[in-house]
Structure 1
Amino acid sequence: MIVASTRVRSERSEAENRPLVAALEERGASARVEPWDAEDAVAGWSAADLVAVRTTWDYSARREEFLAWAARVTGVTTLQNPLSVLEWNSHKRYLVELAEAGVPVVPTRLVPHGSTPEPLGPGRLVVKPAVSAGGRGTYRGLGPELEETLAELAAAGDALVQPAVESIDGDGEVSLIRLGGRWSHAVRKFPPAGGFLVHERHGGRLEDHEPTPREREVADAALACSPAPVHAARVDLVRVDGEPVVMELELIEPELFLRRAPEAAGLLADALLATL
């Protein structure tokens, strides 16, 4: 088995990949971590029974290249999560599709690449690229203040407009992690003082979280829209009018916070092996 990662490894990626490789080896599987874009690793994909996309955290800046790689891997071995999922989940128009399917989501408007965006209202909004990860290119502010930024985003690619979710400031964002057929664990992510991005690299902090039945219900509804079954998923939820709604559905390379749940690496290994 090959675990696909970025070329540049970090403490965060090692914390995700080391426990997984160890758990796979404990189960009798041979596993190693390779950069998804390493030329000298191309021949190895076909020799692997399974390639697991895990910490390919640079894919969003090279989406077409990444999907072309995933298609090549799919042609020679088993890829998890599957190519159809990677294609669908790598563009945030899926949020619009979730809403159309009746899943509670943060209201999202897609601004097509090359279009002239409509004037923004006076309320606090968030604008971001439709292909992005980790909060890259995400801006929050009053509508008129963001019009020039939105125009620049739309000139470069598809963009999104959403209302600012004010509850993030105090309640943070909840992430539910599903491994195989069960919910494994969950965390609550808080932004730093004065900020709104909850990722740790933006100064955010984590604490353990016990999901409510309604949070699981919303997360299940979002996962049901995936174009194919997945071995692992992370569903990010925020509160709007007191109710949980989907902020992001992470099915490509989500950080699963394995370090916060000792049994999670084993569950992830079992889920991967079950796809063979």
Structure 2
Amino acid sequence: MKRCAFLSMDSLEDFFSSDTMLFEPLKNVGWLVEEVSWRKTDVDWNVYDVVVIRSTWDYQDDAEGFMACLQRIEASSAQLQNSLNIVRWNISKKYLKELQNQGINIVPTLWFDSFSLPEIQAGFSHFDTPELVIKPLVSANADHAYRLTPENLKQQAQKLDTIFATREFMVQPFLTGIVDEGEYSLFYFAGQYSHSILKQPESGDFRVQEEHGGRLSTIQPCEEMLTTARHSLAALPEDVLYARIDLVRHKNEFVVIEIELIEPSLYFNMDPDSPQRFVDAFIEML
């Protein structure tokens, strides 16, 4: 029996994860899986054949330590999926700028290295929008993402200055489509389409994650979504075991809000055939 580690958090008590749905189908093809916290420093990664990054949803609290863990895995005999190279590329949302340079439509974005209230305020006129969203370039689970009007930007300026004093961040127009329609996620395993869901925020919120009250439903993507996703996958620097491509409607077209290649929730619970598709992709990638 080969051994596979799913890289995880110390505790998933307050989170939704469906990764355990992979344990049985992987066992059926000769793979024993166990979850291992990325924060453990005494792990002998050589005992595993493969390490798959999964529910490491607190890595943004210590990105340096997280990368050090991945480097230890990379230096071992275990194969890391997705690769250290793709994690380095994907860990900062600056990758979106690179995708845009390759012709992929993304949410309109301004990029910042330091907090300047006048420059942030100028974003309202730059995007011709009544609301902005500000979020760090390195983040997960919508941590430190804020929806801002001109009034509450002034009110929260000191708090935001403290939060973003040492963080690179991005400013985008708040897209009403996220509230009115929702955010679409398309899942790909080894480059092959698997399934899709629609994530809608709780009333009065804009965050679509389940931990923030988001509602989920299975959908069949239209051809425009699939085309955008295919072009996005083709623009990646290398092939990946798993990818979640998040889209939102903006001005009557679908644009990329994020491409999740590190620790995306893959929502196996939303499609009964998706665990086996992942296992087939897993075997193919090896």
Q: TM-score range by the shorter chain?
A: over 0.9
SS at match of 1:110: strand
Query: Tell me, what secondary structure is at the counterpart of 1:118?
Result: helix
**1:163-208 CA deviation, whole Å, 9 max, x = no partner?**
1101111100000011123111100011111111111111110111
Specify the alignment match of 2:65 in structure 1: 65
Query: Aligned pair count?
Result: 273
Distance across 2 between alignment mates of 1:172 and 1:180: 26
Question: Within the alignment, does 1:2 sit opposite 2:5 as a pair?
Answer: yes
Alpha-carbon distance between aligned partners in 1 of 2:255 and 2:181, rounded to the nearest angstrom: 13
Q: Separation in 1 of the partners of 2:131 and 2:9?
A: 35
The residue correspondences of 1:226-241 to structure 2 (distance < 5 A) are 226-241=236-251
Conserved? CA contact 1:119–1:144, under 8 Å: no
- Measured in 2, the distance between the counterparts of 1:252 and 1:119 equals 29
Please state whether the residue corresponding to 2:121 is helix, strand or coil.
coil
DSSP 3-state at the match of 2:7: strand
Task: Give me the whole-angstrom Cα distance separating, in 1, the residues matched to 2:160 and 2:233.
Answer: 29
3-state DSSP of counterpart to 1:23? helix
Q: 2:132 aligns with which of 125, 135, 155?
A: 125
Helix, strand or coil: the match of 2:119? Answer: coil
For 1:262, the equivalent position in structure 2 comes to 272
Contact 1:178 1:233 survives alignment (8 Å): yes
Given the two structures, how large is their TM-score scaled by the length of structure 1? 0.93
- Cα distance in structure 2, aligned partners of 1:47 and 1:119: 49
C-alpha deviation, 1:263, in angstroms: 1.3
The alignment-based identity, stated in percent, is: 36
Q: For 1:94 and 1:6, how far apart are their aligned partners in 2?
A: 25
Q: In the alignment, which residue of structure 2 is the partner of 1:79?
A: 80
Q: Aligned runs of 1:35-184 on 2, under 5 Å? A: 35-40=37-42, 42-43=43-44, 45-76=45-76, 77-113=78-114, 118-121=119-122, 122=124, 123-143=130-150, 145-146=152-153, 148=157, 150-184=160-194
Secondary structure of the 1:169 match is helix
> What is the CA distance between 1:116 and its match in structure 2?
7.5
Q: Quick one: which amino acid aligns to residue 87 of structure 1? A: R
* CA separation of 1:115 and 1:93: change in aligned 2, threshold 3 A: farther
2:265 matches 1:248: no
1:48 Cα deviation (Å)? 1.2
Give the Cα separation in 1 of the matches to 2:215 and 2:117: 37
Write the deviation string for residues 114-168 of structure 1: whole angstroms up to 9, x where unpaired: 7776242343110111111111101112246326255334312101100110111
CA RMSD of aligned residues (A): 1.8
Q: Summarize the Cα distance change of 1:11–1:28 in structure 2 as closer, same or farther, 3 Å threshold.
A: farther
- TM (norm. structure 2) is 0.90
Structure 1, 61-70 or 2-11: larger mean CA deviation:
2-11
Give yes or no for contact 1:112–1:157 (8 Å, CA) kept in 2. yes
Q: Which runs of no fewer than 5 residues in structure 2 stay unpaired?
A: 125-129
Give, as a single letter, the amino acid of the residue that structure 1 aligns with 2:204: G
Alpha-carbon distance in 1 for matches of 2:13, 2:280: 25
User: In 2, Cα distance between the equivalents of 1:194 and 1:116?
Assistant: 26
Q: Distance in 2 between matches of 1:19 and 1:146?
A: 43
Higher mean displacement: 215-224 or 140-149: 140-149
Higher mean C-alpha deviation, range 20-29 or range 266-275: 266-275
In structure 2, what is the Cα distance between the partners aligned to 1:10 and 1:273? 30
Q: Structure 1 residues 184 and 141 mapped into 2: Cα distance closer, same or farther (>3 Å)?
A: same
3-state DSSP class of the match of 1:167? helix
Say if 1:31 and 1:17 are closer, same or farther in 2 by CA, change over 3 A: same
Unaligned runs of 5+ in 1: none
Distance 2:6 2:265 in 1: 14
1:110 Cα deviation from its structure 2 partner: 1.3
